[in-house]
Amino acid sequence: MNLSVELSKEDSVQRFHIAGEIDAFTAPVLKDKLAEVQDVPGLQAELNLTDVTYIDSTGLGVFVGFYKTLKANDGYMKIIGVNDRVKRLFEITGLDEIIDIEKGVGENRDATL
C-alpha cells in the first residue's frame, strides 16, 4: 500500500500529482506534502487524482483541510482527474458542492485560473 505525491510548478499553478491509496496510514504523507505550500498567499493549487486507486473519509478530510487553509490565504484549489468512484464519494459527502472538481484531465492548462 503506497502513496506518492509529486509537486510540479507550472506558471503560477502548483500541480500535485497524487498516486496510490489514501487512507489513515498514508494520509499523513499527503498532508505533509500539501502543508509545505499551503501558507503561500494566493496559492493556486491543482490536485490530480487520476492515479488515486482508493480514498476514504481520511483523504477527504485532508483535502477539506487544505481547501480551508488555501481559502483563508486567498488561494484556490481545484481537483482534477477524478474517476467515477472518487467522484461518487465527493457527491455522497456533498463536498462536490464546495470544492471545484473536474472529471478527467482538461486540455485547458489555465483552467485553474
The contact set with another protein (CB under 8 A) reads: 1, 21, 23-25, 54, 56-58, 60-61, 85, 89, 92-93
CB of 28 to another protein, least distance (A): 9
Q: Which is nearer to another protein, 24 or 40 (CB)?
A: 24
Distant-in-sequence, close-in-space partners of 93: CB < 8 Å, separation ≥ 6 = 57, 60
DSSP summary character for residue 42? T
CB of 57 to another protein, least distance (A): 4
CB of 93 to another protein, least distance (A): 6
CA dihedral sign of residues 113, 4, 91, 93: negative
DSSP summary character for residue 64? H
